[in-house]
Amino acid sequence: MRFNYFLTTFLPRKDYGGDRLYGEVIEQAVRADALGFDAVSIPEHHLINLLIVPSPLQMAVKVATLTQNVDLVISIAVLPVRDMRILAGEVVQADILCNQRLTLGVGRGAFASELSRLDVPLAETRERFSESLAVLEALLEREQVSWAGKYYNFDDVTVMPRPVRRVPIMVAVVNPEAIYQSAKNGYDIQTTPLNASHTVLLEQVNAFKRGKAEARRVGPPQKISLQRVIYLARDAADVERVGRTIYDYYKRFDNAYTGPGLIESGMMAALPRKQSFEEMMQNLLICTRSEMIDKLGTYANAGIDEVIISAGFGFPQSEMLAMMERFADEIMPHFASQRNSRAAEQAVHALRAPSST
């Protein structure tokens, strides 16, 4: 099971400053590389203080210049708010500048209030996403692409420069039926139960397995990546303190995701939550070492290929870096054999693949 560190770019207050925020998450990305994490994930959001990276490809290129080994995962590019003719060229350029370490996660967007401010109604995003993804793949794979659809109509264009390789694409989706369909179509999957129960997670994983079994994919084995709130606490008191801070963050997240989207000058309002603190704590991985190993072990046994760790919810930078080091030292070694088995599987696949010469 791979470990992917998510840059949870939360601006807790305006005077915190974007320069400080981005400096800290870049330092976290560099530390993730040094500690042996497999990847770093970068979100995309606009006009709000949650997960705020307006240009994730730009961030990926910056991180690539300061790291050696981690994959750079866009998690996720919101296709309905972009023009694929521009995005395709940006993806090609970013992959080159990232030394071909880029993975492009794509999705339709989740925050209705954010999308409406960009003149994209949430009700249209599923249809827009499907057409946008088809256009994007055509532009990356072929020259002289023309299109006649509902949202795109254009004559022959060729994205330049041409890709130096096939950039991996991962689809972000939550609904089990949509996971099944996307996996059946051959895509890698990123999903999350958010703060829902383990039962929901298993439904998502089983949907991926069903789709994967029916897929006719050529290339590396399909994988499912699970994004979760994960924080390795020092002791029980730390669990309580960290949990309370994250519960407060979710008052803002729920407002953006399922709530009315109340926002003032870019700052998402903190609204009362329907879920209790105790219910949230049962569903998130905020715990000490032995419990963390046990819970992640259930993920590995369920067939999760990669865990995306979301942990930055306004904690001091020194605390974040210390938590990352604890996780790398105390947790990751327990899953090293599974990681090595996965690497061996991919190596065997590469040896069996037909030569391109």
Domain ranges of the chain: 2-352
pLDDT of residue 251: 97
Residue 147 near residue 158, CB atoms below 8 Å: no
CA triplet 79, 85, 89: central angle to 5 degrees? 95
Distance CA 268, CA 253 (A): 8
Distance CA 205, CA 225 (A): 10
Q: How far apart are the first and last CA of the chain?
A: 33
Helix (H, G, I), strand (E, B) or coil at 15: helix
pLDDT in tens, the chain (357 residues): 999 999 999 999 999 999 999 999 999 999 999 999 999 999 999 999 999 999 999 999 999 999 999 999 999 999 999 999 999 999 999 999 999 999 999 999 999 999 999 999 999 999 999 999 999 999 999 999 999 999 999 999 999 999 999 999 999 999 999 999 999 999 999 999 987 778 999 999 999 999 999 998 888 899 999 999 999 999 999 999 999 999 999 999 999 999 999 999 999 999 999 999 999 999 999 999 999 999 999 999 999 999 999 999 999 999 999 999 999 999 999 998 655 555 545 444 444 444 433
Distance CA 35, CA 138 (A): 37
pLDDT of residue 337: 65
Q: Name the region of 352 (left: φ>0; alpha: ψ -120 to 50; beta: rest).
A: alpha
User: Exposed, middle or buried, 355 (CB in 10 Å: 0-12/13-18/19+)?
Assistant: exposed
Read off φ and ψ for residue 95, nearest 5 degrees: -60, -40
For 320, how many CA atoms within 13 A lie in the half-sphere containing its CB?
24
Distance CA 79, CA 125 (A): 9
Superfamily of domain 2-352: Luciferase-like domain (3.20.20.30)
Which is nearest to 85 in space by CA: 11, 31, 159, 137?
159
Q: How is residue 307 annotated by DSSP?
A: E
Distance CA 33, CA 167 (A): 21
